[in-house]
Structure 1
Amino acid sequence: MEMRSDLSISGIGRSQGGSYSHVRTDGMAKINGDTDCISLDNNGTLTIEGALQSETVSVNGTATVEGALKANRMILDGMATIKEHAVCQELLTVNGRLSIGGRLDGEKVEVFGILKTRDDVQCELLSVHGGFSIDGLLNAGLIDVKMNMPCKAQEIGGESITVRRLKKISVIEQFVPVLSAKLQAHTIEGDEIYLEHTEAEIVRGNDVIIGKGCKIGRVEYKNQLTRDEDAQIGAAYQI
């Protein structure tokens, strides 16, 4: 069995990458190279000049991973940037802001803040209390979004999709629409769909509810379509 030592950095310090048991950083820390560990606990500012693989990752502060990230569980309280793709096999919880330069794959993703990716997001459950910006496809079995800031994705697909708004329109949003808490997507497709304050070209599903504040170009539904009197729909077809 491989023997691993612990790595601890306090204050301002740096270390080489490698295989460790437990990594703990307090202060300003830099790790040069790929890092493989059982757990990583960061309090402060951490930069990893390489990829990170760990069973658990806890960030309380800020962190930058220059390569890819692979973990079973990650809890972020603060801000983190992953320059390449990220995999969180069990749970990803974002209390703050997470930016990913590639795609995100996971099982359960919870966002209490902002998630940004430059590629697709694939997971079983996505729960959002805040906002997101996904440059590719968002695909999840269950999608539950409660917006209080802008959300956007190229395409959204899932079995159950619910999009609601957490707050009323503020004075700032009335004059600066880009800050408005709404969802923008080209295509939204699922079995059960409920949308509020959503702009999309195409919405396609079995049972579809288009709520208040929606602007939809085309709705295709199999079983039932319900629309709010405030919603704008260009065309609707039962298929």
Structure 2
Amino acid sequence: MGITGECRFAGDVDCVKFSLTGNSEIAGSLKAEEIKLTGECGVRGRIDALSLKGRGELAADAGLRAERLAFEGHIGVKGDCEAGELRLTGAVEIGGLLSGEQLDIGLIGYSRAGDVGGGKIRIKRSKGYLLLKMVKPSQEACFEGRTIEGDHVELEHVSAETVRGGNVVIGPGCEIKTVEYRESLEIHKSAKVDNRVKL
């Protein structure tokens, strides 16, 4: 299914390929093997896909699940967001759990999630953020979460209550209450960590 322009769906959308250039609102859920977006897409239900890629703005009220997710822009999910592999440049706002085997987030703007869990987690400012800062000096690129847990965790400009992992790197601009690590821990001199616990 290919859409160019503006489109509204009154119920669920279930198809093999969903391609959108423009603006779409779906009153139900969206299920497709492949989703390609350029523009804005709002889904009242949940999104299920094998592959989801694109740029723009994506919102899902009831949750999002994708095997491979590559996106530039803003993703807002009121429930949980689950991906095998997630690569995002932009901002995320996840009401519940953000989880994946590989999570790679390049921050441009304020982002948050309830909790973050995964295998390899990397949250840093995007290179494009520095260009944006010249245009919009007030724009802050940072990430807030309660608990961040993974095998390999690499963070910059992240605020969290607890960070737990095997190998943990706490980079510049981080404010963490407690870091629990199994194998190795690196903390940047500008980062603020209240408690360090070796498991």
**Normalized against structure 2, the TM-score is what?**
0.95
Does residue 217 of the first structure (1) align with residue 177 of the second (2)?
A: yes
Does residue 170 of the first structure (1) align with residue 133 of the second (2)?
A: yes
For 1:197 and 1:132, the matched residues in 2 are separated by: 14
Equivalence for 1:155: 115
Structure 1: which 5+ runs fail to align?
A: 1-39
Q: Alpha-carbon deviation of 1:209?
A: 0.3
User: Over the residues paired in the alignment, what is the CA RMSD in angstroms?
Assistant: 1.5
Contact in 2 for aligned 1:77/1:94 (Cα 8 Å): yes
Q: Could you report, residue by residue, the CA deviation over 1:153-178 in whole angstroms, capped at 9, with x for unpaired residues?
A: 0000000001111234937977x5xx
Q: Alpha-carbon deviation of 1:94?
A: 2.9
Contact in 2 for aligned 1:216/1:232 (Cα 8 Å): yes
The amino acid that maps onto 1:170 is: K
Q: 1:77 aligns with which of 20, 31, 38?
A: 38
The 1:173–1:221 alpha-carbon spacing in structure 2 relative to 1, beyond 3 Å, is: farther
Equivalence for 2:67: 107
Q: Could you report, residue by residue, the CA deviation over 1:177-215 in whole angstroms, capped at 9, with x for unpaired residues?
A: xx4111100000000010000000000001100000000
Equivalence for 2:20: 59
For 1:61 and 1:94, the matched residues in 2 are separated by: 12
Equivalence for 2:146: 186
SS in 2 for 1:170: helix
For 2:60 and 2:113, the matched residues in 1 are separated by: 14
Structure 2: which 5+ runs fail to align?
A: none
For 1:65 and 1:120, the matched residues in 2 are separated by: 18
The 1:173–1:222 alpha-carbon spacing in structure 2 relative to 1, beyond 3 Å, is: farther
For 1:181 and 1:172, the matched residues in 2 are separated by: 14
Residues paired across the two proteins, number:
196
The amino acid that maps onto 2:68 is: K
Answer 1 or 2: higher relative contact order, Cα 8 Å, separation at least 6: 2
**Normalized against structure 1, the TM-score is what?**
0.79
For 1:150 and 1:94, the matched residues in 2 are separated by: 20
The 1:173–1:238 alpha-carbon spacing in structure 2 relative to 1, beyond 3 Å, is: farther
Equivalence for 1:45: 6
Equivalence for 1:203: 163
For 2:197 and 2:54, the matched residues in 1 are separated by: 38
The runs of at least 4 aligned residues of structure 1 exceeding 3 Å deviation read: 168-174
For 2:135 and 2:36, the matched residues in 1 are separated by: 32
Percent identity (aligned) = 28
| Higher Rg | 1
SS in 1 for 2:28: coil
